[in-house]
Every structure is written in structure tokens, then in C-alpha cells.
Copies of this chain bind each other. A is one copy, B any other.
Amino acid sequence: MIGQDIHNFASKLWPLNRSLTGEGLRETLYQISKHLPDLNIKSVKSGTKVFDWIVPKEWSVNEAYIIDPNGKKICDFSVNNLHLVGYSIPFVGSVSLNKLKEHLYTLPDQPNAIPYVTSYYKERWGFCLTHDQFKILKDGLYKVVVDTSLFDGELNYGELLIKGKSDKEIFLSTYICHPSMANNELSGPTVVTFIAKWLQEIGETDYSYRIIFIPETIGSITYLSHNYKDMKKKVFAGFNVTCVGDDRAYSYVPSSNGHTISDLIAKHVLKWTDPNFIEYSWLDRGSDERQYCAPGIDLPIASILRTKYSVYPEYHTSLDNLEDVVTPQGLNGGYWAIRKAIEAIERNKKYKVSILGEPQMSKRGLYSTLSIKKNNEEDRLMMNFISLCNGKNSLLEISDRLNVPIWNLYDIVEKLEKISIVVKEG
């Protein structure tokens, strides 16, 4: 089960301190490139204007912790990188508990979870801790050490281009900016890494692939600001890949348009993978499709997910881990859903029957020579398929009309193409 390999890879990436920028993000890209040697690691300087945004300073953490009045070290970044608010500015000093509390973040409703908090675009420092720990803090002086630095550095991302027969591209995007979180982070880049490996293994595909590993939001804005004109010409389908690692649900978030081939394929694959899959609306979006589908960009990007960000209790907390939430089985399901969607897009051609009237199948050994009361189910599916091959219906449309998964038609198509009863159109 490939899900186990993906899970192992995720465990390797787990301890790295990912953020919008910095060493942890670069190390993550380096680990991915061990699987994908063609991965191109790019950098963009802090301060670069990208659409309405500015590439932020690079953030580096040396150490961060608090010493409580008893001299005990708490909220230690080296124990759990979620303890430090992302992009905290440096601070060293002693503060009263009351003063300290202005810098502490907890989740009273989930008292055993450390929340994930960031402050990318306003300078502040802060610590996150469980509410259970927070509640027992005693009055007194606390020594705070936030040994971080924010400096003009670079923002990094990885890009992999796989050339197919056609210049038309399928686009995959996933993000690598969250520290220690499993479903809402590591499931994405690890599944995409294994999807990319598979695409490179199968050799020449009909379409080309553009696959990027980026920090969320600022990364997609940066990437688009450099590439959107080219992408608008080439990208005809694609998915933002996130939250594909738990085994509790299958979900779909549409593109803004809602009717692109990515949407149709995603819904088809999910329907036949799990009839109870959850169909969200564009209003439930929350990841980089916000940029890919923004007015004027309008790329056909949908999302295929397991349990969607924001809706599960462990989301954006220390509970979103590789033991209880993300599992090999969950990643396996996520991997196959994405892969089946890509296969379906590759296969989704139009076919035309080359013969007027029904072909005489029995003379070709493809139909019973004896007419009795009941037809064979497979014969019937083949004849139904032929009856819809008018050169106008796509394979996806035909499979929807036949109420079968598109992959049930792959063998039939191959058999009929081989004996030239159907031919591919344009």
C-alpha cells in the first residue's frame, strides 16, 4: 500500500520548522527533491512586490521559551514548534503573568491542544500553549526569550515541469508552510510527491504537468504574479492538494466557476470512490484556490480532499498529527483519488463509432450468437457505450450517462479502438 510509503515520508518531514520562509521550508523542499530530482527550487527576494502583496522578510528562530516563576522552562520551541507564534519578533525580558497573558494563545474549548497562530503581517511576539497548562500558571515574574530574527532574505518554492505530448497543462499545487501539522499540511506535499513520481514513471503523458510546492497564500500569489499569463494559456485542469491524509471522509471544494473539467472530474471520481463524499461550495474555500480562481486569474482549479480544513476539531492545533488523524490508509485514499482524477482527465477523449447502425458484434466474437431472454451485462455496457460514441460526448459524459465509473470504460475503449469500431476524435 503506497499510503504507508507516503506516511513514512511525512514522518520524516514532521519535525522541520516550516513557515512562509526560512530554513525549515528549504529543508522540506530538499527532502522532496530526493524523490523528485528534477524539482527546481526557486527563490524570490524579500520586499519583492507580488500583485497587491510584498514578499515578507525571512524568519529564523534560534530558540524561544519561557521560564516560569519556579524556574521551569515552558512553551519551549525546541519541544514543539507550535509553541511560538509564527513570525514572532525578538524579545527578551521579564514580565508579570498579567502582562505575559497578552501574548499567550490557548483554546479553552480544546484544553489539551496547542493552537497554531501566526502573525505574518504585523510585528508582535507570542506563545501558544494548551489551556490546561495555561490554567495552572502562577502569579510572578516570567522570563521570556524569543531569540528570532526577521531579515531581508528570500521566499522559496519548488516547481516541477513534466512535459507531455501536448503543451496543455494539468496543474497541481500544494503547500509547505505549516510546522508540525499532518492533515492540513504534510498530507498535501507528500501525496503530491508520490503523484509526481508516478507521472514520471509512466513516461509520456498526453498532457504536460506543472506541479508546485509553495508557502500558502503568499506563495501562490508570488507564483501567479510571475506565471499567470502563461498559465492562463496552458492550464486547462488542476487541483489544489491539501488535507488528503485522514480516513474519515472524502470532500470536494469547487473552483469559482464550478463547472470546469476539474470540477466535473473531481465530482465523478469522488462519487464513485465514496457515494457519501461531501460537496462543499465555493464559499467554503480556504486555500490557494482563493488565488487561482480570483477574478482575472480564473484558472480551473478545484480541490479533492479527505476531511477539509476548518471543519475537523484537530485543525490548526497540535492534535492534527500523524498518529490519530493522518494514517497510511487515509493517505492511500487521498493518493488514489488524485491519481484517478488525473487518469480520468488523460483518458477523457471523445470517440466516434466508425460504422452506421449497430456493429455486428457476434461475427467479431464480441457478442453471444444465441439470442435468449437475458443479455450479458458486459455486452450491454459495450453496446450502450457504442450507442453514445457520436464524436461529441466525452468519455466522462458517457460514463455519467451510463452511470458507471469512467474507469469501467477504459478496457472497452481499448478493445473497440483496437478493432477500429470506435476512433478518437480531434
Report A's interface with B, CB cutoff 8 A. 50-53, 86, 105, 107, 115-122, 124, 217, 220-221, 224-225, 228, 256, 282-283, 285, 290-291, 293-298, 315-317, 352-353, 355-360, 362-363, 369-373, 383-384, 386-391, 401-403
Copies of the protein in its oligomer: 3
Q: Is the CB of B356 within 8 A of A51?
A: yes
**Chain B residues whose CB sits within 8 angstroms of the CB of A228 once the complex forms:** 356
* Chain B residues within 8 Å of A383, by CB: 290
Q: When chains A and B are docked, how far (Å) is the Cα of A67 from the Cα of B228?
A: 84
Q: Which residues of B contact A353 (CB under 8 A)?
A: 294-296
Q: Given contacts A121-B369, A283-B402, A369-B122, are A356 and B115 in contact (CB under 8 A)?
A: no
Contact among B124, B360, B401 with A52 in the assembled complex (CB-CB below 8 Å): B360
Please, how many angstroms separate the alpha-carbon atoms of A331 and B351 in the complex?
A: 41
30 residue pairs from A and B, CB less than 8 Å apart: A52-B355, A52-B358, A52-B360, A53-B360, A86-B371, A107-B373, A118-B370, A121-B360, A121-B369, A122-B362, A122-B370, A220-B357, A224-B356, A225-B357, A228-B356, A256-B388, A282-B387, A283-B402, A283-B403, A285-B387, A290-B383, A294-B353, A294-B356, A294-B387, A295-B353, A295-B387, A295-B388, A295-B391, A298-B390, A316-B373
Contact of A358 (CB < 8 Å), options: B86, B117, B290: B290
A386 to chain B: which residues have CB within 8 Å?
295
Evaluate whether A221 and B295 lie within 8 angstroms (CB atoms) in the complex, with A117-B371, A256-B387 already known.
Answer: no
- Are B221 and A357 in touch, CB under 8 angstroms? yes
Cβ–Cβ < 8 Å partners of A225 in chain B: 356-357
- Other A-B pairs beyond A51-B356, A296-B356, 14, CB < 8 Å: A51-B357, A52-B358, A86-B371, A116-B373, A117-B370, A117-B372, A120-B371, A121-B363, A224-B357, A225-B356, A291-B357, A294-B358, A295-B387, A296-B353
How many Å lie between the Cα of A402 and that of B119 in the bound state? 29
Instruction: Give the chain B neighbours of A358 by CB distance below 8 A.
Output: 52, 217, 221, 290-291, 294
Residue contact A115 to B372, C-beta cutoff 8 Å: yes
CB of B107 within 8 A of CB of A355, answer no
A357 and B297 contact, CB distance less than 8 A:
yes
With both beta carbons as reference points, the residue of chain B lying nearest to A289 in the complex is identified as: B387
A107: chain B residues within 8 A (beta carbon): 373
A119 contacts B294, C-beta separation under 8 Å:
no
Asked if A372 and B105 sit within 8 Å, CB to CB, the answer is yes
User: Which residues of B have CB within 8 Å of A52?
Assistant: 355-360
* A117 contact set on B, CB distance < 8 A: 370-372
B121 touches A384 (CB 8 A): no
Give bound CA distance, A263 to B403, whole Å. 21
CB of A202, distance to nearest CB on chain B (Å): 31
CA distance in complex: A108, B107 (Å): 69
Query: Pick the contact of A357 from B53, B389, B402 — CB < 8 Å?
Result: B53
- Distance, CA A263 to CA B52, complexed state (A): 39
A285 cross-chain contacts in B, Cβ below 8 A: 387
Contacts of A256 in B (CB 8 A): 387-388
- CA A53 to CA B384, docked complex, whole Å: 19
> Which of A217, A220, A356, A363 has most B Cβ within 10 Å?
A356
CA distance A359 to B283 in the complex (A): 17
How distant is the Cα of A124 from the Cα of B370 in the complex, in angstroms? 10
Contact A356 B297 (CB under 8 A): yes
**Residue of A290, A293, A370 contacting most chain B CB atoms (<10 Å):** A370
